[in-house]
Structure 1
Amino acid sequence: MKIIIKDINYPLSLYYSYLLPLFRVEKHNNGVVFTKEIGICRGLRCKYMVGNETTCIIPNNCSHHTIRQILGIENHKYVKEFFNKLGIFKNNVFAGLTLMHSPRDKLYIFTSIFLSRNTDYYANTVKWIKIIHRNNCLTNPLKCAKFIRSYQYKQLIEIYDDIVKFLSKNNYQPLEEAVELLKIKYVGLKTINAYLLHTYGITEYAPIDRHYQALLRSLGVKPYVPNKKYCLCHEFNCSKCLFKNTCIYGLTRNIFKHFNGFIQSISYIQGRIQKHLTRKIKHRSKLEETIIDLIRHEGFNTIIKSYIELIDSIKILFNFERSQL
């Protein structure tokens, strides 16, 4: 089956996605071809052309619902809603963004998030996930210890049995799963919020990285990051927590609601691109180079301009929402 998708910018959407390691991404004329090599719906092949039209060939064993999750078709409606609410939908490059997620790939996605801590995601994490898949190490991580010597992977081996215990079951609700995972050694709030966002597409949750913190500071917000024991105490229900209006996780959820994950994603993309412009990233991986080349067609200056426009519009929305708390 073939489908045509318009208005979604897949180079931008893949750039920050934790599903990226599950795809092979290749340049193709004035666009990019991305093919799912790992996990559910293997063989999904999409060709994106500059101008935001994407043609996808869908494997027979892949359901319509799963495809809409993986390709972020449903979540793009929230992006449209957000930018329409801000009044900047037509000309802002980030309006083409979407969130790609895949609950049936949750073990791979959790592994991708966990291994991405304190390392170059594109040069290292993506490579490690492909090594894990190629050597069938998701069922026996010790097999890849000789190929992946990072401390992140050593920690993964240490807690692997606990992770599989919960992620191999299908009867957990996402928040119940999040609580159980958060109890595991080395697993923190940033990891769990990224997991809920990129596995289940729950856009109220967002990993608070340095890029998102910079955006929040530009809005005049300097809340604190809590100890995960408070989140466990309230089973990840921020509405019950005494710190919901001062904690950086509770506050962003309260203010931005189901736009939270998109705003964080945009801040990450802009922050990473800004590093390229200021030459703080000296050596790009081939994968990142491929994606950056496509993003370059949008124009880096256009992206920066779109981000500034977004911040200015969010300030108005933020002040309004803030007054309602």
Structure 2
Amino acid sequence: MKKFYEVESPMKLEFLLYPSFAMPLFDIREDLIIKKYGFCSNLIIKRIENRYIVIHNNLKCLEYAKYILGLWFNPWSYINEVSDNFKSIILNLLKIYPNFSLSVSPLDDLAIFTSIILSRRTNYHINTIKWLKILMENYKDLSIIAKEDISKLLKITKSYQIKDLPRLLSYYLDIRDLILSKTINPRKLLICKGIGPKVLYSYLLHVLLDTSYAPIDSNLEIFIR
């Protein structure tokens, strides 16, 4: 089945995914992306002129593509909330990229959380993406990592990000359903040592689709420049 999303000046797919913590879930080519892991795997998205073509055998996945394409968020609706100090910068950015947005995958919360955790104090595009792809190849269910023998994980890399992963995943899994059902405040994540504001704000944006906070770090600063 196919679905067409008509978009004025659609962004290149690689640019749409580049600042996203969902990027490791995809195989990326010039004007084509394939969702290799997680929810709606094998989803294909092509960029052709002023539209995106989405291909999958499940109708729900054709609709879900709006999150991956960044169509869940309209930056123009927030322009009046921008400080006058930055409004001209944002307006110029939106003139160049009128459909600027962020690719997310809220139903891949465990993979997104893992992506965020592995991105701490390292090069996201060189290290994090490689590590997470290896994990997803070896663990179809990432929750298994919470109880995995650390010696097996250290074969991927001996970085502290991997060493911390089982403990942080275990904590997240304990409160995951309560956060996703909005029974408790996601700020409960901050109780766990190793989870700071950047992790929380990234999770809020990519999983809960809360645009109130921006997870600024060195990776995003480099992208903005």
- TM-score w.r.t. structure 2 length? 0.80
User: C-alpha separation between the residues in 2 aligned to 1:74 and 1:62?
Assistant: 15
The equivalent of 2:46 in structure 1 is 47
Across the two proteins, how many residue pairs are aligned to each other? 209
Amino acid at match of 1:153: I
Q: Which residue of 1 aligns with 2:69?
A: 71
- 2:35 equivalent in structure 1: 36
Match of 2:118 in 1: 115
* 1:6-21 correspondence runs (5 A): 6-7=7-8, 8-9=10-11, 10-21=13-24
The code of the aligned residue for 1:56 comes to V
Alpha carbons 1:113, 1:195 under 8 Å: kept: yes
Aligned to 2:165: 156
Secondary structure of 1:139 counterpart = helix
The offset of 1:82, in angstroms, is: 4.7
Counterpart of 1:286?
none
Structure 1 residues 134-184: Cα deviation after superposition (integer angstroms, max 9, x where no partner): 11161332343322321111011233321211225575318x352221111
Note if 1:145 corresponds to 2:154: yes
Instruction: Give the counterpart of 1:180 among 188, 192, 216.
Output: 188
TM-score for the superposition, normalised by structure 1: 0.57
- Superposed counterparts of 1:257-268, under 5 Å: none
CA distance in 2, matches of 1:90, 1:125: 28
In the alignment, structure 1 residue 134 sits paired with structure 2 residue 88: no
CA RMSD of aligned residues (A): 2.8
Gaps of 5+ in 2: none
> In the TM superposition, what is the alpha-carbon distance from 1:90 to its structure 2 partner?
9.7
Q: Is the 8 A contact 1:145 1:153 kept in 2?
A: yes
- How many percent of aligned residue pairs carry the same amino acid? 31
Higher gyration radius (CA) = 1
* Superposed structure 1 runs of 4+ greater than 4 Å apart: 82-91, 168-171
Please list the CA deviations of residues 255-307 of structure 1 after superposition, one character each: whole Å capped at 9, or x if unmatched. Answer: xxxxxxxxxx6x55223xxxxxxxxxxxxxxxxxxxxxxxxxxxxxxxxxxxx
Unmatched 5+ residue regions in structure 1? Answer: 212-264, 272-325
Q: Distance in 1 between matches of 2:209 and 2:134?
A: 26
Q: Which amino acid aligns with 2:2?
A: K
CA spacing shift, 1:89–1:2, aligned 2, 3 Å: farther
Q: Where does residue 190 of structure 1 map in the other structure?
A: 198
> Using the alignment, how far apart are the partners of 1:58 and 1:80 within structure 2?
30
Q: Contact 2:32–2:45 (CA<8 Å) still a contact in 1?
A: yes
Shift of 1:201: 1.8
The change in CA–CA distance for 1:54 and 1:146 in structure 2 (over 3 A counts) is same
Tell me how far apart the structure 1 counterparts of residues 162 and 207 of structure 2 sit (CA, whole Å): 20
Distance (whole Å) between structure 2 residues aligned to residue 203 and residue 161 of structure 1 = 26
Letter aligned with residue 46 of structure 2: K
Q: Does the C-alpha gap of structure 1 residues 139 and 74 become closer, same or farther in structure 2, counting only changes over 3 Å? A: closer
The answer on whether the counterparts of 1:12 and 1:97 sit within 8 Å (CA) in structure 2 is no
Change (3 A) 1:140 1:148: farther
Shift of 1:204: 1.1
